[in-house]
């Protein structure tokens, strides 16, 4: 699986808070964000079923197939 980069806009206070939480959990800010995303996807799939390629809009699928 290819690793992709994602830039986000975040205000300084929230970024500082993220670093506090990540440090408390023994993670980097990046790892903390990935953990939160995985938890969110898991919760979504628990409520709505597994996310398959067919359920992703065609204009967004190309990012899944790039390597």
Residue 38, sorted as left (phi over 0), alpha (psi -120 to 50) or beta, turns out to be: alpha
Decide: 26 and 15 in contact? Cβ < 8 Å.
no
Decide: 33 and 18 in contact? Cβ < 8 Å.
yes
**Where does the pLDDT of residue 61 fall: very low under 50, low under 70, confident under 90, or very high at 90 and above?**
low
Q: What is the pLDDT of residues 31-44, one digit of tens each?
A: 999 999 999 999 99
Q: What is the pLDDT of residues 15-32, one digit of tens each?
A: 999 999 999 999 999 999
Q: Is residue 1 over pLDDT 80?
A: no
Boundaries of every domain in the chain: 12-65
Radius of gyration of the chain (CA): 15
Half-sphere exposure of 39 (CA within 13 A, CB side): 6
């Amino acid at each position: 699986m290819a690793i992709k980069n994602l830039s986000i806009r975040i205000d300084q206070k929230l970024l500082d808070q993220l670093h506090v939480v990540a440090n408390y959990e023994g993670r980097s800010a990046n790892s903390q964000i990935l953990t939160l995303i995985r938890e969110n996807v898991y919760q979504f799939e628990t409520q709505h079923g597994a996310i398959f390629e067919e359920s992703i809009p065609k204009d967004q699928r190309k990012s899944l197939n790039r390597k």
